[in-house]
Amino acid sequence: MSQPAAPTALEAMLPYRLLVDSALEYAGGTHEFEDVVAEVATGAMQFWPAKKSCVVTQIVSYPQMRTLHIFLAAGDLAEIKDMDETFREFGKKLDCKHVTLSGRRGWTKALADIGYKSIHTTMAKEIQDGR
């Protein structure tokens, strides 16, 4: 007897669409839900579902190191924090030196107790308006 087919990226992510969309509101317009689904489908991003939360990660390769970057996280903070060890183990298997994330300032305080610290600030200015 054959195994059931694994769910597609869209099938896996659709129940979490509201959470993903809520996090994308803070992504500066870089992605829409369908863009993230497409990235997960190709393996360029990884989708981590939980009961009341979800996280999307990506591997970033720099000249001197690789990092597991948390592209977005949404849902229950305690549940997301409980996923940290899984992220670290996954990153370690892929030779990543850090787990990184970019997000609202509130993440700095929310994740300090599990060892995350601010290493830089990201700012943006629109080129077209640019005033």
According to the model, what pLDDT value does residue 126 have?
A: 77
Rounded to the nearest 5°, which phi and psi values hold at 74?
A: -150, 150
Question: What is the C-alpha separation between 45 and 58, in angstroms, rounded?
Answer: 4
pTM, two decimals, is 0.89
Q: Which residues pair with 99 in a beta bridge?
A: 68
Question: What is the C-alpha separation between 119 and 45, in angstroms, rounded?
Answer: 23
> Would strands 45-49 and 66-75 be described as parallel, antiparallel, or unpaired?
unpaired
According to the model, what pLDDT value does residue 52 have?
A: 98
Quickly state the pLDDT bin for 69 (edges 50, 70, 90): very high
Q: What tens digit of pLDDT does each residue of 4-23 get?
A: 778 899 999 999 999 999 99
> Which domains are assigned to the chain?
9-114 (3.40.630.30)
Q: Are 65 and 97 in contact (CB under 8 A)?
A: yes
pLDDT reading at 3 higher than 90: no
According to the model, what pLDDT value does residue 129 have?
A: 61
pLDDT reading at 131 higher than 60: no
